[in-house]
Amino acid sequence: MDLNWYVVIKENIERFYFSGIIGSGWHKLAPEECTLRIQNRLDGVTLKDNSGAVVLVPELEEWLWHNDSSICKRLGISSDNLKVWAREFAGKQKTTVEAIKQSQPKELFEFICLEKVGRTISPKDFEEIARIASLTDWCKSRSFKSIVALLREWFPQEGM
C-alpha cells in the first residue's frame, strides 16, 4: 500500500495546527463542532465543497483496534494474549476493553508493545499494520468511514 497520502495529510494537519486553526481549547469541543469549525475555515480559503474535514476521536490509533488480527500478526502474538492483555489494561483503568479501545487506543497499544511484548514502537509498525489490515474492518471506525465517504464522493467509481 502506498502511504504517500498519509504524508500529505500529516503535513496539512501540521500546517493547520501551527497556523492556529487547531490548538489550545479544541479538545474541550465535541468532535462535530470541531469538524464544523475546521470545515468553515477550509471553505473560507478554498472553493466551497472542495474540501472535507474529519476529526479523529480520540486519535488515529483508534483505527488499530478495528482489526486485531493485523496487530497480532505484526507483533507476533496470539489473539488470546492480545485479549488477555487488553482486559488487564482495561481493568487497571476500571473500564471495559471496548471503552478503552475507544478512549485510550494509543495507551493500550503502548502497554501491549512496551510492557507485554517488550519492544519499542516504530513508524514501521503502523505502516505494516496498515498494509495488512482489513479496510472492511476499519470501516467500523466512524472517522475512517467519514474519510472513505469523502473520497468516494470526490472520486466516484465508473459505472456506479
Q: d(Cα 27, Cα 47) in Å, to the nearest integer?
A: 27
- Residue 54 CB contacts under 8 Å (≥ 6 apart), including other chains: 35, 143, 146, 147, 150
pLDDT computed for residue 96 by the predictor? 97
Q: Report pLDDT digits (tens) over 92-119.
A: 999 999 999 988 999 999 999 999 999 9
* Grid cell listed for 2: 502506498
* Grid cell listed for 119: 519492544
pTM: 0.69
Which amino acid type is present at position 56?
Answer: L
- Residue 128 CB contacts under 8 Å (≥ 6 apart), including other chains: 74
Positions of the chain with pLDDT lower than 50, given as ranges: 1-3, 5-7, 10, 14, 16-21
pLDDT computed for residue 159 by the predictor? 59
In which residue are the cell numbers 456506479 written?
160
